[in-house]
Amino acid sequence: MGQTTDARQLLGMKKASRSRNIWVIRLQLMKPITWIPLIWGVLCGAAASGQFQWRWDHLVAALLCMVLSGPLMAGFTQTINDFYDRDIDAINEPYRPIPSGAIPLLQVRVQVIVLLVAGLVLAWMLDRWSGHTTPTLFFLALGGSLVSILYSAPPIKLKQNGWLGNYALGASYIALPWWAGQALFGHLSWPIIGLTLVYSLAGLGIAVVNDFKSMAGDRQLGLQSLPVLLGARAASWVSAALMDGFQLLIAVVLMGLGQQLAGTVLVLLVIPQVVFQDMWLLRDPLRFDVQYQAGAQPFLVLGMLVSAVALGHSILA
C-alpha cells in the first residue's frame, strides 16, 4: 500500500499522500502522469513528417523535443494551474502540495518561471538544430505557454467555460506536441494543422473526464465545467460522442487519402473504447474515471500514431 501511495504522489495522481521531500513535492506539482500523451504526440508528429530517420542525431533531437513537450511545458502548465486552482484544490484535493502547505507560494512561482524559461531556451536550440529560418518550435512553445496562462489565470481563465477550456486542453495535449515533432523533422503544413485541430476534439472528450473529480469544488466556486453545466450523466455521453465521433471522422479522411488500411485500423481501435465507455464512463463516471482513462486512452493515442504514420506515407507518396 505504501508503494502505491508513493507512486501516486510522484505521478501527481489523485488520492496521493503528503511528502516532506521538496523535490518530490515539485515533481508532484508537475504531474508526470500528464506528460505521456505529449511525449506520444511528439512521436506522432515525427512519424507524420515523413523525414524522421533512425540516426543518433534524430533520436537525440526527438528525445529533447519530448522533454520540451512533457517535463518542461506540461510541467509548467500543471504547476501554474495548481497555483491558480489552489482554492478549488483545497476543496477537491486538499492533499495537493499547495493547499496542504507543503510548498510556499514563492517557490511555486520560481518553479513556474524556471520551467518556462528552460522550455523556451530548449525550443530555440531545437530550431537552430533544424535550421529553421523562422523559430517555429520557439513560437509553438511560446504559444502553448500563453494558452496555459489563459486557461488557468484570471481574468480570462478559459477553464471557467467547459467547452472552450476543454478544447484548449485537448489541443494542447494533441495538436501542439504533434506540431512540434513534425516541425522538428519536416514541414508543418496547414492541412496537418487543420487535421490535428479536428483530432483535438477527440481529446476534448478525454478532457471532460478530468472534470468529474472536481465537480464539487467547481460547482461551489462557480466554474462551468461540462459535468457541472450538463450533469455527470449527460457530460459522460458528450465525452464519449466527441472521443468516438472525431476519431471516426479522421478514419474517413485517411481512407479519402488512399490510406484504407490505416483508416480501418483506426475504426477497429475505436471499438474497445466504446466497450470501456459502456463499462465505466456511462455507468458511473465519478467512480470509474481513472479506470476508464487507463483503459480507453491507450487506444486513442495508438490511433494517433496509426494516423501519423499514414500521413507520413501520404507525404512521401
pTM greater than 0.85 (yes/no):
yes
Correct CATH for 2-316 of 1.10.3470, 1.10.1760, 1.10.600, 1.10.150: 1.10.600
Q: Which of 11, 142, 146 is nearest to 80 (CA)?
A: 146
Per-residue pLDDT reduced to its tens digit, 78-113: 999 999 999 988 888 888 899 999 999 999 999 999
Per-residue pLDDT reduced to its tens digit, 64-77: 999 999 999 999 99
Per-residue pLDDT reduced to its tens digit, 11-34: 545 555 566 789 999 999 999 988
Sequence-distant (6+) residues with CB within 8 A of 162 are 208, 211, 224, 225, 226, 227, 228, 229, 230
| Contact call for residues 171 and 129 (beta carbons, < 8 A) | no
| Contact call for residues 76 and 213 (beta carbons, < 8 A) | no
The mean of the pLDDT values for the chain is: 91
Give the residue, 217 or 298, on which the prediction is more confident.
Answer: 298
